[in-house]
Structure 1
Amino acid sequence: MSDYTNALYKKTARIMIAVCGLLFSLFSFVYLYVFQRDVLEALHFSLAHGKTVFAPLASAIIITLILLLLRWGVNSLLGLKGKVRALAYLPSFLVLCALTDVGRGVYMSDYHTPWTWLLPLLVLLFVGLGYWLRGVFRVQLNQEGNVWGLVNSNLAILLGLCVLTVCVGDSNRTYHHELEAEYYLRTQEYDKVLEVGERSLEASRTLTVFRAVALSHLGQMGDKLFAYPQYYRSDGLFFDSDSLHTLRYTNDSIYYLLGARPYAGEDRMVFLRNICYKGSGKYTSLDYYLSALLLEKQLDRFMEAVPDFYLPEDTLPRYYREAAVLYHAERNDTLFPVADSLMIRRFKAYRELQQKGGSALEEQNRMRREFGDTYWWYYDYQK
């Protein structure tokens, strides 16, 4: 090989070191700060027991720098060269996998992850195997080969490790939405809670409860509750009793918001009704009770309760008015008690659109596009 070719190969090798370092740094920072920020925050909260504040930007930068140092240490030990130099990033990628492969049980006191023993085991195996192979292939590692082979091989290794990390790390969109909404709820940024997954028709029970809590704090439950998917009826106002299906919040936080807690075994609807009529709950309990009646499609009981808590001259929240219009329309009343001509006209348009032909599925989708944010759609089409 000529001196010119040797110089070009060595120069390309130095450039590749810098390029791989830059590409790894970009991937690590973006992956941690943009895609896995909520998972990283959850892991931090669990490890620190909530005693320290999580700084996502600083954490992503510091972790990336530490992983770069880890790569430097590994390569100093193994002396990887040529086409396999990028393999020195493997332990760093394994650390990224361990940090972002976090499940729902992260907040439980007995939480444990297989990465506790798997990460050091894999790193030791890699170092041991790499050290042994370095001695076996010492001659090949010291040989200078094709420049494009050097570039393509290292970039392929780096890309493969990136793909592996993304596949191992938690990529469940529903779980990420829950973590993000929970973070905003804990920091009392209630408007941002409502922005999480707002364009998606998917909504887990936990996310549905977070939205209800945020709306309650904002005093907008009667105006915005049915603007979001409601798949769980009144269960969507309370967390699941199984701790593996919830995050940091439990129903204790709901009871604190309501100002009362049920007796053991007390029916939820009875509990909500009692604290409203006895006045033992906070003002938030009224919206919870009326919303629970609407979610259970109990229009009769809803219309019985409204006069007990609202004066005739009061302006009802949007969905309470929609429910009142629907209630009287179901009974073929000629007079609508809601003095809202715009809403009455919209309800008539709703009924007219229902009369158009098509299959049940076509009708449901057509009505969702035009009236999916109304209580009428929920009452008629949500199972």
Structure 2
Amino acid sequence: MSKYILPYEKAARIQTVVCGLLFSVFSFVYLYVFQRDILEAVHFSLAHGKTHFAPMASAVVITFILILLRWGVNSLLGLKGIVRSVAYFPSFLILGALTDISRDIYMDSYRGYWLWLLPLILLVFIGTAYFLRRIFRVQLNKEYSFMTLMNSNLIILLVWALMTVGIGNSDRNFHHELAVERCLRAKKYEDALKVGERSLEATRTLTALRAYALAHVGQMGDRLFAYPQYYKSEGLFFSGDSLHDLRYTNDSIYHYLGARPYENESKLPFLQHICDREIGKYTSLDYYLSALLLDKKLKDFAGAMCEFYEENTRIPRYYQEALVMYQSTHPEYTCLATDSTIVQRFDAYKTRQKDFASPVEEENRMRREFGDTYWWYYDYQK
């Protein structure tokens, strides 16, 4: 004969199942969708890159373990009624701590403060909850309506969820860097170039990673200025500060170029040197020409194009735009022919510049209409 279930007991069970389901969904989505690259970085750091990362399996396993942790905590503390969901606090806190990492995650000396802070907070939580449970024992045993039970516990879950989101790393640029890096390691260069492609924000690390991806698909000259460029030629390389680099460093770029600079040699002379002596790989030329454009050295760029490009050779889009701009002030330059369509668009660009009364309006409107051109970069990018 089955045991008769009182209405309050049934409401409590429904509330327990609903809260468990909501936590499971939140944990899986948080780990698999929003913090996937953060979780992969933690895995790489702990395993030193020796094991394969499975994002879905990792999210499922972690969620399952945290559900078991909740049951363990509740068995210890005996929380029920309108505060039953308080037992999810350790699970939510671990989710936040697991995804609260910074750019020094790959350093051997990395020691996160959560290693000591997490156990301390959990001990304080268990001690405080146990103490308060004894004081408010009568209130815990009181029967509440179904809606009161649900609303109270859902509010508690919401607070814990907001806490987790607040603790975890939400730096969009860092997430973009990790996502691009993941695609590069998988040799999915086009996928890497789609990460944050509409954003006007770009760190130097992200800029260097994008240039690296463009070099692999052979389209630096066609797509470089479709992305924000805030660091001139230095943006083709990492800063050299290991706290800002991820698993790719300048050594990765030097290996790809097939040469290394001398000690204290600056990047532009290094690129010119390997192109002049032809000691690097063919991709070195794109790096060199792009560096000249980023530094707005049109005269040197025009000379390099004459030296390294032959007539009747396809000239990438941004190289043509730069040549058209140079030829507008140096009509004697006839080394290479440019596309008449690009010449017409440059004429439209110069005509449009005359239509604005204020510099601010001009810059903003020109960005909307010509922001993906080298001309906008040359005239407006500080």
Matched, 1:184 2:167: no
- 1:265 alignment partner, SS class: coil
**Residue 379 (structure 2) aligns with:** 380
- 1:28 alignment partner, SS class: helix
For residue 363 of structure 1, what is the amino acid of its counterpart? E
Within 5 Å, which residues of 2 pair with 1:3-18? 7-18=6-17
Within 5 Å, which residues of 2 pair with 1:173-212? 173-212=172-211
Matched, 1:104 2:100: no
Q: Distance in 1 between matches of 2:195 and 2:227?
A: 11
- 1:104 alignment partner, SS class: coil
For residue 286 of structure 2, what is the amino acid of its counterpart? D
Q: Distance in 1 between matches of 2:346 and 2:128?
A: 72
**Residue 55 (structure 1) aligns with:** 54
Q: CA deviation at 1:338?
A: 2.5
- 2:119 alignment partner, SS class: helix
Q: CA deviation at 1:8?
A: 2.4
Residue identity over aligned pairs, in percent, reads: 62
Question: Structure 1 residues 374 and 336 mapped into 2: Cα distance closer, same or farther (>3 Å)?
Answer: farther
Q: 1:174, 1:204 within 8 Å by CA — same for their partners in 2? A: yes
Deviations 1:267-286 (A, max 9, x none): 21111111001111111100
Q: CA deviation at 1:333?
A: 5.3
Deviations 1:272-320 (A, max 9, x none): 1110011111111000001100100001111111121111221211111
Within 5 Å, which residues of 2 pair with 1:118-157? 118-157=117-156
**Residue 228 (structure 2) aligns with:** 229
Q: CA deviation at 1:120?
A: 1.2
Q: Distance in 1 between matches of 2:86 and 2:29?
A: 21
Q: CA deviation at 1:254?
A: 0.7
Q: 1:325, 1:338 within 8 Å by CA — same for their partners in 2? A: no
Matched, 1:168 2:180: no
Q: Distance in 2 between matches of 1:147 and 1:54?
A: 42
Q: Distance in 1 between matches of 2:168 and 2:329?
A: 51
**Residue 305 (structure 1) aligns with:** 304
Deviations 1:169-194 (A, max 9, x none): 11111111111111111111100111
Q: Distance in 2 between matches of 1:127 and 1:243?
A: 39
Q: 2:234, 2:267 within 8 Å by CA — same for their partners in 1? A: no
Q: Distance in 1 between matches of 2:129 and 2:57?
A: 33
Q: CA deviation at 1:149?
A: 2.2
Q: 1:325, 1:336 within 8 Å by CA — same for their partners in 2? A: no
Q: 2:323, 2:338 within 8 Å by CA — same for their partners in 1? A: no
Q: Distance in 1 between matches of 2:82 and 2:17?
A: 15
Within 5 Å, which residues of 2 pair with 1:1-383? 7-331=6-330, 337-383=336-382
Q: What's the RMSD between the two structures over aligned residues?
A: 1.5
Q: CA deviation at 1:253?
A: 0.5
| TM norm structure 1 | 0.96
Question: Structure 1 residues 169 and 334 mapped into 2: Cα distance closer, same or farther (>3 Å)?
Answer: closer
Q: CA deviation at 1:100?
A: 0.7
Q: CA deviation at 1:95?
A: 0.7
Q: Distance in 2 between matches of 1:234 and 1:124?
A: 51
For residue 25 of structure 2, what is the amino acid of its counterpart? L
Q: 2:306, 2:335 within 8 Å by CA — same for their partners in 1? A: no
Q: 2:97, 2:118 within 8 Å by CA — same for their partners in 1? A: yes
Q: 1:328, 1:336 within 8 Å by CA — same for their partners in 2? A: no
For residue 52 of structure 2, what is the amino acid of its counterpart? V
Question: Structure 1 residues 335 and 300 mapped into 2: Cα distance closer, same or farther (>3 Å)?
Answer: closer
For residue 353 of structure 1, what is the amino acid of its counterpart? R
Q: Distance in 2 between matches of 1:344 and 1:117?
A: 63
Q: Distance in 1 between matches of 2:207 and 2:170?
A: 20
Q: Distance in 2 between matches of 1:191 and 1:270?
A: 30
- Pairs aligned (count): 379
Structure 1: 4+ residue segments shifted above 3 A: 332-337
Q: Mind listing any 5+ residue stretches in structure 2 that lack a counterpart? A: none
Q: 2:320, 2:338 within 8 Å by CA — same for their partners in 1? A: no
For residue 195 of structure 2, what is the amino acid of its counterpart? V
- 2:150 alignment partner, SS class: helix
Q: 1:325, 1:337 within 8 Å by CA — same for their partners in 2? A: no
Q: Distance in 1 between matches of 2:357 and 2:10?
A: 69
- 1:358 alignment partner, SS class: coil
Q: Mind listing any 5+ residue stretches in structure 1 that lack a counterpart? A: none
Question: Structure 1 residues 302 and 339 mapped into 2: Cα distance closer, same or farther (>3 Å)?
Answer: closer
